[in-house]
Structure 1
Amino acid sequence: MISVLFVCLGNICRSPMAEAVFRHQLKSQGLEDVIKVDSAGTGDWHLGKVPHEGTRGLLDRHGISYEGMRARQVRLDDYSDYDYIVCMDTNNERDVRQMLGSRCDGHVKVFKFMDLLPERKTADVPDPYYTGNFEEVYELVSEGCAKLLERTVEQLKQLKPAGR
């Protein structure tokens, strides 16, 4: 099993969108039982809330479920529970690395989402809570999640015992 945690600031816009899109992509590939995905925020302002109405509306238009998703904050346990911690912007990555401390040297791979899309030449996924541009975020998230799916599928192949 491979596990992925998407992280943004409040866990109501970008990271739940990435979680929902990645789950949708996993389901379409029949991989939802071998790759675990979740999302969290570095802040605690929206704990227990459903995704932002802009995120929900966009996901509804694309037929992507966000059922059962509620905002939560990053926990120390996340660092032992997830293989990849994918941060939506530079500040999120800094905050996660500060929380991790020396754990950053362990098995967990912490990186920015836009590292999946170097050809885009932008450091951060813009926060639609402030910009209002949920479509732009959806395009980046869809493209980046597809790249992450390729990466995790390759990792799964390496984990499978030979001859199976």
Structure 2
Amino acid sequence: MNTTPAVLFVCTANLCRSPIAMGLFAQQAGKRDQGRVWRIESAGTWTVEGSSVPRNVQLAVEERSIDLRHHRARTVSRALLQSFDLVLVMTADQREALELEFPEVASNVHLLSEMAGYKYDVPDPINGSIKDVRMVAHEIALLLNSGFEWIAQQIVNRREQTTHLVAKTEQVLKVNTSQEW
């Protein structure tokens, strides 16, 4: 099993909230979890593949030392979702859409706000001003700051469950193959 913790942030177009969360979480992980490498990516539920981040979003996050100039939108897929320990979405509708389309990953999908002890949708400032984007980036930063330990613990819990299931499966296979027919 890969030991690199993996978190996927998901929003609608993968052009504002999820790339912002990805950049902010990378900063948090670098400060809090020195020495451990994280796999941190983003995707969208309804994207135009390859689209660039709007200028207002780029300018707002550059102030936080996040460079999204080379980010390109991509759509979630079954394979992508299955390759992550944890999927954090911005809205309840996104969570529902992923759970319906990809039920096998439903237990790994959570609202971003839930990790900080709340349950609300993070607003989409994509068509707003730089000030609007700054406000949402600040909100996401606060959620990530207070929820960092929750994220790390969710990954530990998931990996323990997976390890337990693998051990059980191996045990069952060993019993079945050792029996004479």
TM bucket (normalised to shorter chain) is 0.7 to 0.9
Equivalent in the alignment of 2:142: 143
Equivalent in the alignment of 1:8: 11
Equivalent in the alignment of 1:58: 60
- Within 5 Å, give how 1:56-135 maps onto structure 2: 56-66=58-68, 68-101=70-103, 103-104=104-105, 109-118=108-117, 123-132=120-129, 133-135=132-134
Richer in helix (by share):
2
Query: Distance between the aligned counterparts of 1:96 and 1:157, measured in 2?
Result: 22
**Shift in alpha-carbon separation, 1:31–1:95, aligned structure 2, 3 A:** farther
One-letter amino acid of the structure 2 residue matched with residue 42 of structure 1: T
Deviating more after overlay: 82-91 vs 132-141: 132-141
One of 16, 19, 22 as aligned partner of 1:19: 22
Query: Distance between the aligned counterparts of 1:65 and 1:30, measured in 2?
Result: 21
Gap runs ≥5 in structure 1 = 160-164
**Shift in alpha-carbon separation, 1:93–1:156, aligned structure 2, 3 A:** closer
Q: CA deviation at 1:33?
A: 4.8
Between structure 1 and structure 2, the one with the greater Rg is 2
Higher RCO by CA contacts (8 Å cutoff, separation 6 or greater)? 1
Gap runs ≥5 in structure 2 = 160-181
Aligned-partner SS, 1:138: helix
Deviations 1:114-134 (A, max 9, x none): 112335xx6100010245411
Q: TM-score, normalised by structure 2?
A: 0.73
Q: Does the 8 A contact of 1:41 with 1:74 survive in 2?
A: yes
Query: Distance between the aligned counterparts of 1:56 and 1:32, measured in 2?
Result: 28
Query: Distance between the aligned counterparts of 2:53 and 2:98, measured in 1?
Result: 21
Deviations 1:36-86 (A, max 9, x none): 1100000132x1122222221111112223354211000111232001110
Query: Distance between the aligned counterparts of 2:21 and 2:64, measured in 1?
Result: 13
One-letter amino acid of the structure 2 residue matched with residue 142 of structure 1: A
Equivalent in the alignment of 1:28: 31
Equivalent in the alignment of 1:39: 42
Q: Does the 8 A contact of 1:24 with 1:65 survive in 2?
A: no
One-letter amino acid of the structure 1 residue matched with residue 91 of structure 2: D
Question: How many residues are paired up?
Answer: 154
After superposition, the CA RMSD in angstroms is 2.6
Q: CA deviation at 1:156?
A: 7.1
Query: Distance between the aligned counterparts of 2:36 and 2:54, measured in 1?
Result: 27
